[in-house]
Structure 1
Amino acid sequence: MKQNEKSIIFLKQNTQGVYSVINMDLGKFPLSDTSEISRSLTSEEHNSKEEFRKEVLEKYDLES
């Protein structure tokens, strides 16, 4: 994530009342360009995350 970049983040409250990102890398997505999706991912992992990102944007009507 970058400063001033619009993103969608999925949070869950734990038993202490603190919120944290759920499902680690799959719990946050930039709303714009996906070129910055983790460079440490394999091609298959990147494709899977990009597909999931598209589903999230479609579900919440956030597609550009």
Structure 2
Amino acid sequence: MMVPVRCFTCGTVVAEHWEEFEERAREGDEDPAEVLDDLGVDRFCCRRMLVSHTDLVDVVSPYQ
């Protein structure tokens, strides 16, 4: 599924950071915590939204 647009807890927009976070963190060159610090995602609830997101669109799409 797509990354949520807003944080479930505080309502801050987090989807705008998803693409850059995924590119930089998934390559393995940078620590995800450092990437989130660079992006300005400071709250733990917002960090949780990005770190714990799993993209399931490829898993669910055959059943539509």
- TM-score, normalized by length of structure 1? 0.38
Looking at secondary structure, tell me which structure has more strand per residue: 1
Looking at secondary structure, tell me which structure has more helix per residue: 2
